[in-house]
């Protein structure tokens, strides 16, 4: 697994990582070169900020199994032996109910399309962002490789060494430019929907019954138009952890139609609303921000979550070698948002 051409030795510092250059082949999904579902006959002169509010955005629910396999095959960042890395589109669920079209449900077809079915091993998901997020997915048909990576991730978490780096655009600004967010979280069911809620001062019984202590590091990379480009490094794994952490900082992720409603505002001052009495609803954006994003209110209601698993650290090929770095380019709609907001992209060579 040491031959990934997209891997490089890790550079120290968060900003140096964001400035790392990806190879030209890492075009990612949604680009003209690699998106098999790109509409034909589109005008070359029409800029994405005018005619396409969400360029490159796919709707997996409208795809057939064959079309989804084609999309995922085109989204492969690298493939070496049994280990495959792809750039998951936003909105694609990793798993789901029987009969639902998910990443897990098409793994047999994807394995065949990538020429791995002859090895006789079942394809497994090692690491993947949630449904509403985009970014790096690790797949392997080798149990030994999967076990090695799993042990590496577990050991890194215990040592509090981040292995995953997300990029997010927030609606609002964090109070400080960098720091850590700690919270005890639990899952609750409301109207058939599972969501995470903070738990104050959890007891030992709470921990036994499913409450988890969570931790994320964050750093603001750029600000503009009342929004921020933020880098996040989770030290724990919990559903919707990063969305809840940013919501607790009063700056929910742009396109978060689940947790943004928990942030209220009076005379420009933001505050948290009780999770138990606040139902998920579409994120509300002010008129000035809508103009900057060049969106109508109806389009804003369809705004995708701007949370992208941009970078992963993996173990080196040999025990004493430094970890290796794997990058995924930003989705085109994410880059469009940064352009509209005037947020600089230190990793512009990595985005599509």
User: What is the full per-residue pLDDT of the chain (352 aa) written as tens digits?
Assistant: 333 233 333 333 333 333 333 333 333 333 333 333 333 233 343 344 445 789 999 888 889 999 999 999 999 998 878 889 999 999 999 998 888 899 999 999 999 998 887 666 788 999 999 999 999 999 998 888 899 999 999 999 999 999 999 999 999 999 999 999 999 999 988 777 889 999 998 998 888 889 999 999 999 999 999 999 999 999 999 999 999 999 999 999 999 999 999 999 888 889 999 887 788 888 999 999 999 999 999 999 999 999 999 999 998 877 778 888 899 999 999 999 999 999 986 654 444 4
- Among 127, 197, 196, 199, smallest CA distance to 166 is for 127
pLDDT the model gives residue 51: 57
- With tokens 């509300």, the residue in question is 284
- Domain positions in the chain: 8-37+50-165+313-341
Interior CA angle at 214 toward 213 and 220, to 5°?
155
Structure tokens at 212: 């988890």
Integer Cα distance of 159 and 179 in angstroms: 18
pLDDT the model gives residue 110: 93
Per DSSP, the three-state class of 224 is strand
* Entry pTM: 0.84
Q: Which residues neighbour 50 within 8 Å (Cβ) at sequence distance 6 or greater?
A: 294
Per DSSP, the three-state class of 7 is coil
């Amino acid at each position: 697994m040491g031959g990934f051409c997209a891997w490089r030795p890790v550079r120290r510092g968060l900003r140096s990582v964001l400035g790392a250059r990806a190879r030209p082949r890492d075009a990612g999904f949604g680009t003209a070169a690699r998106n098999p579902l790109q509409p034909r006959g589109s005008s070359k002169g029409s800029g994405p900020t005018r005619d396409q509010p969400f360029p490159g955005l796919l709707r997996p629910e409208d795809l057939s199994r064959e079309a989804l396999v084609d999309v995922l095959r085109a989204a492969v960042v690298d493939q070496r032996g049994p280990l495959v890395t792809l750039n998951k589109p936003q909105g694609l669920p990793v798993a789901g109910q029987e009969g639902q079209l998910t990443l897990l449900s098409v793994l047999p077809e994807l394995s065949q399309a990538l020429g791995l079915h002859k090895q006789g091993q079942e394809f497994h998901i090692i690491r993947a962002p949630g449904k509403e997020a985009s970014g790096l997915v690790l797949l392997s048909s080798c149990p030994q490789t999967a076990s090695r990576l799993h042990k590496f991730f577990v050991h890194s978490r215990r040592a509090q060494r981040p292995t995953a780096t997300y990029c997010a655009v927030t609606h609002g600004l964090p109070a400080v430019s960098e720091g850590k967010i700690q919270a005890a979280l639990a899952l609750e069911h409301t109207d058939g929907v599972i969501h995470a809620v903070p738990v104050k001062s959890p007891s030992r019984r709470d921990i036994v019954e499913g409450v988890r202590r969570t931790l994320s590091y964050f750093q603001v990379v750029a600000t503009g138009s009342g929004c921020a480009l933020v880098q996040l490094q989770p030290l724990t794994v919990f559903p919707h952890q990063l969305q809840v952490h940013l919501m607790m900082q009063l700056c929910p992720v742009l396109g978060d139609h689940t947790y943004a409603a928990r942030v209220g505002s009076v005379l420009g001052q933001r505050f948290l609303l009780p999770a138990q009495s606040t139902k998920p609803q579409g994120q509300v954006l002010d008129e000035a921000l809508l103009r900057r994003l060049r969106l109508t209110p109806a389009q804003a209601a369809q705004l995708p979550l701007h949370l992208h698993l941009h970078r992963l650290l993996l173990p080196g090929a040999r025990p004493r070698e430094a970890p290796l770095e794997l990058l995924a380019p930003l989705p085109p709609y994410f880059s469009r948002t940064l352009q509209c907001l005037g947020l600089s992209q230190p990793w512009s060579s990595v985005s599509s």
